Amino acid sequence: MYDYFKQYPHDVVFYEKWIKDRLPQSFVDAHAHFNLPEHVSNVSAEAIAGDWALESGLLMSIEDSDTYLQTLFPDQSVFRICLPWPLRDADTVANNQYIANLIQEHDVRGLFTVRPEYSRDSIEEAFVAGHFSGFKPYPYMASTTKGADVSIFDFMTHEQFKLANELKTAILLHLPRRGRLPDPDNIAEIHLILDRYPDIKLVVAHFGRSFCIEHFEKGLEKLGSDVQGLYFDTAAVLNPRVFDMAFNKLDHRRILFGTDFPIMLWHGKREWSDGQYHNLVREEFSWNRHPYPDQEKDYTFYVYEQIKTILDLLGSDEQSKQAIFKENALNVYDQR
């Protein structure tokens, strides 16, 4: 467990005031990464230092997750959709097997990471045997450069999409390219996937990496009516304007709550300007520039800020709360 994960008295006060009685008593975290140290032993220190998210949290066992969730949500029951860490230098075979073991031994569901070189037969055999509930491809399998200009089909091939379509299962898709959701090539490839593989339940992670409103607004406009064929998860998103637009433009049955643990376990907030986001963090990461040091002692858990934003915007709409925090994820990632 990460030693920086600490609960302070003001976190308990925040939880009691804003979270405890407003959040459903049972909910689903539809986006959390699970692995063991041996699964990522070949991921270099340079790679970790070059990605703020990896430095924030690269490891999480099921036991660590239990502790985090019991600390953060002592009055709620949290069901988990378990993802491997889809990194090119990770031991994907062992990590997928770990998720399969969690599915068998714990009350969880899990996604299977594919590599573009994996054959259709080998994927299908492991997927069916492990009782997985979907696939988790990732751009790092094509390039370790964050936001690289690669095609979706460079890290999950058409043959693999065809298999997912035949299995009528879900794909949790992290979009490539610096342009994020509104990138014209991403839009074209999403259109193609929806048209060619209609039986896939396509979940776009992080609202299409739309951490800023500019990307989300342009992306929804370019998607047009095809947006109704997609699902989106909330992982690592905090921007109130993004959530407000999502709740006004999307069917609430198409939004899945997710945390992106173990990345987002720190205390902090975000600022946004000119299509860029800036993490404001209490903990001592190398990328933390401490722009407001006098305020840091008052930061609460990022995930609390995220949940409060969602709950504030949903208000008394209990039906939408149940959908976003529980029902949608269970319907999309159905048990195999």
CATH number, domain of 91, equals 3.20.20.140
Domain count, the chain: 1
> Is position 285 within any domain?
yes
Q: How far apart are CA 147 and CA 133, in angstroms?
A: 27
> Is position 325 within any domain?
yes
Please answer whether residues 322 and 311 qualify as being in contact, where contact means their C-beta atoms are separated by less than 8 angstroms. Answer: no
Q: Name 277's bridge partners.
A: 272
> Is position 259 within any domain?
yes
> Is position 3 within any domain?
no
3-state secondary structure of 308: helix
Instruction: Note down the domain range covering 35.
Output: 9-332
CB-based burial of residue 199 (10 Å sphere; 0-12 exposed, 13-18 middle, 19+ buried)? exposed
Q: How far apart are CA 26 and CA 23, in angstroms?
A: 8
> Is position 235 within any domain?
yes
> Is position 18 within any domain?
yes
Half-sphere exposure (CA, 13 Å, Cβ side) for 134? 26
CA distances from 225 to 90, 219, 246 (A): 38, 12, 14
> Is position 1 within any domain?
no
Residue 292 CA, chain-centre distance (Å), reads 28
Name the pTM for this structure: 0.97
> Is position 2 within any domain?
no
Element (H, E) at 173: strand 170-173
- Per residue of the chain (336 residues), give pLDDT as tens: 999 999 999 999 999 999 999 999 999 999 999 999 999 999 999 999 889 999 999 999 999 999 999 999 999 999 999 999 999 999 999 999 999 999 999 999 999 999 999 999 999 999 999 999 999 999 999 998 888 999 999 999 999 999 999 999 999 999 999 999 999 999 999 999 999 999 999 999 999 999 999 999 999 999 999 999 999 999 999 999 999 999 999 999 999 999 999 999 999 999 999 999 999 999 999 999 999 999 999 999 999 999 999 999 999 999 999 999 999 999 999 986
Please answer whether residues 54 and 47 qualify as being in contact, where contact means their C-beta atoms are separated by less than 8 angstroms. Answer: yes
